[in-house]
Structure 1
Amino acid sequence: MSKALSRPSVSVAGVLLHLLPAVMLFTLFAGVGILHVTSRVLVVDMGYRLSNAEGESRSLTRENDRLKLELATLKAPARLERVAREQLGMAMPKGSAVVSLADERVKGSGTAQARSAAPAVRVAERGTGR
């Protein structure tokens, strides 16, 4: 056998030294890839959360509108009069039974001052605007 076929000795440290840049580059790409995938997953998750929040907002807005309509219906004067008559047994006052107590003020020297006497009593007739 000839000496031409003999191989030079290869050390493990030399091989690792030549592979180190490739390993470092692979690690860098893997880290960047993991960060990219993680960020995309977070963006998609936030999109789902936003969509759910918008749906809940629309639902709450509809509920708020419904409650405003219900409140307006419950506050309607005709309904209140009917409830007062039917459920509470109330009736419209007779003739001059409506009494209005007014705190009349007199004007003196540019300012309003309360009278020292008792407040005036006005009796309103039914159908008048007083």
Structure 2
Amino acid sequence: MSRFNPTPRASGVSVGSVLTHLLPAVLLFALFAGVGILHVTSRVLVVDMGYRLSKAETEERALTRENDRLKLELATLKNPARLEKLAKEKLGMSMASGPLVIALPQGKERNARVEARDSRAVRVAERGGSR
């Protein structure tokens, strides 16, 4: 018959020795898990940045199209023929028939009035003070 001996045997395995043998495996597993988490996180960030870049490029193309449209509209609005037509129809203006350039005197007489050489009087306002 065998007897049960409640006291631990001298050749038994202790908890400390089991932890000592498992510790490298646990640390290696934790290292691989950490590297895996870092890798997945970096890939998610790269994909997110790709989506942001794609959205920014789409917005840039839309803004470029809008800018081109506005440049064309500005060129249309600044068209001399259109401006002349508006000036004649809406403002009642007409092209000048006389000389288009009037030379102002040089020097101190510059603030004096200037009269046109033909029958139409052209007045230049005097300056209120010297600069």
The corresponding residue for 1:116 is 109
Q: Deviations over 1:74-98 (max 9, x none)?
A: 0111111222233x241315745x7
Given the superposition, is the C-alpha separation of residues 78 and 17 from structure 1 closer, same or farther in structure 2, using an over 3 Å criterion? same
Name 2:6's counterpart in structure 1: none
- TM-score normalised by structure 2 residue count: 0.70
2:44 to 34, 41, 49: 41
Matched residue SS, 1:102:
coil
Change (3 A) 1:30 1:70: same
Q: Extract structure 1 runs of 4+ deviating beyond 6 A.
A: none
Normalised to the residue count of structure 1, the TM-score between the two structures is: 0.70
Can you give the 5+ residue segments of structure 2 that lack an aligned partner in the other structure? 3-8, 119-131
Tell me, yes or no, if structure 1 residue 92 matches structure 2 residue 94: yes
Bigger proportion of residues as strand: 1
CA deviations over 1:21-66 (Å, ceiling 9, x no partner): 0000000010011001101110111111111111111111111111
Q: What is the RMSD computed on CA atoms of the aligned residues? A: 2.7
Identical-residue share of aligned pairs (%): 63
Higher relative contact order (CA 8 A, sep 6+): 1
Gaps of 5+ in 1: 106-113, 125-130
Counterpart position of 1:102: 103
Task: Quote the Cα distance in structure 2 between the aligned partners of 1:71 and 1:115.
Answer: 42
